[in-house]
Chains A and B, each alone.
Chain A
């Protein structure tokens, strides 16, 4: 029994050590699953940490939840992709500043035999209409993420009211949604980064890309000092400024998966 107590004691002591080892300058960044799942942060964040000594702790969730985390004052900085929502966030006083950081684009993924024949369509709206006409299965994020919001705008543009018979709202992140689409052999709208880095494609392939409406802008936000005086605003500003600096923009350019550039810096 005493042996077990000793063992437990050793466990608890090492636990205390582990918890205190995390001290030092850090910020918490709320961001999206697309940036995390593609591996962008693994490539970019260490460069920032080397340059400044500030650790960046990424909490990767859907854009909707990222906004909520920031609104409650639980993150020091925000990097998301919903320009309309971001501007509203600034207007409502939750954030003090917003800057364009980079973009990638959305791509339409689907079964290789393309039953709705969207390969031949000329625009994203046309492709979406073709999927609806063919009543081919389509998996939607359904989680109020930036990608989900973009998808809903595209259905509207196509003049289609998605129908439960073929439209599956999953309420999951980009990766799990692609897993489900692969299993169901369904069409799905994905950001390019997650798609290129995705390892479980099965019969899915990229079917439509290149329409301007598929443009996917990422923005960095500095949160309100008035509403959240406890946040690490100085450190968050250094991250924000670094992202849009030459050094940060270059780090984004240099991030490749299989030789393919996934994010394109466009800070002004």
Chain B
């Protein structure tokens, strides 16, 4: 390489449209987006439910969700590894070292963030809406969709926080995916590999590509959010 500048490397990576890089980028996006979607389908209702219902041990659940936001990715990876390993309880699924295993590990990482933050947001809204709800005689299960819908812009931001966590982590996908070339190699594990080879400019170049990608997604979501906000007033 005639120029060892990381920005130059990043630029030429993008301009060359290198096939293996495209595959790595595509897999990164697929795994993280799917993980965030699954986590949202489970996490938002969970967060709203904890906000709405009063039950024994509720405080404990809230503390647990908040604490799990800080779960180290490598611990999540290790837990999922032990579950999916052939010697583990779900070994028969044969999922270890596949993209499916990476999705599961990222769901474990993202779910607490979505649940804990949406719980907080929904609880705030509930405070504002409570009197209206009571006057309408609304039941809790009917409040949930209303609250979630009215919190949608905040939820979008929470979704992005979850996506950030998923696309940035390396410990979990490395452990359960194995960084297999062409199968489970994603941006972050490729960066670790290139750093290991001492190809620091290439590693940093990949990092810049990842950063640009995440910025692009954030800009897109911001735009969608702004447009809908304006339309709905």
B178-233 contacts to A, CB under 8 A, are 178-181, 183, 193, 195-200, 224, 228
Most buried by B among A22, A176, A182, A199: A199
A1 an interface residue at 8 Å Cβ cutoff? yes
Q: A176-B196, A197-B197, A200-B198 are in contact. Are A73 and B91 (CB under 8 A)?
A: yes
Q: Interface readout for A58-71 with B: 1 if CB under 8 Å, 0 if not?
A: 11110000000000
Residues of B close to A57: CB separation below 8 A: 97, 178, 180-181, 183
B86 touches A72 (CB 8 A): yes
Flag whether B96 is at the interface (Cβ < 8 A). Answer: yes
Total A-B residue contacts, Cβ distance less than 8 Å: 90
Contact between B87 and A60 (Cβ–Cβ < 8 Å)? no
Q: Report Cα–Cα, A28/B177, bound state, in Å.
A: 11
Q: Mark A205-233, 1 if CB is under 8 A from B, else 0.
A: 00000000000000000000000101000
- Contacts known (A12-B34, A14-B30); A175 close to B196, Cβ less than 8 A: yes
With A174-B196, A179-B195, A199-B200: A73-B87 Cβ-Cβ less than 8 Å: yes
Contact present for B196 and A33 (CB under 8 Å): yes
- Are B85 and A72 in contact (CB-based, < 8 A)? yes
Q: Is the CB of A199 within 8 A of B37?
A: no
B interface size (C-beta, 8 A):
32
Closest to B181 in A: A58
Judging by beta carbons under 8 Å apart, are A28 and B37 in contact? no
User: Separation in Å of the B208 CB from the closest CB of chain A?
Assistant: 18
Among A3-49, those with CB < 8 Å from B are 3-4, 8, 11-12, 14-15, 18-19, 22, 28, 33, 36-37, 41-42
Interface check A126, CB cutoff 8 A = no
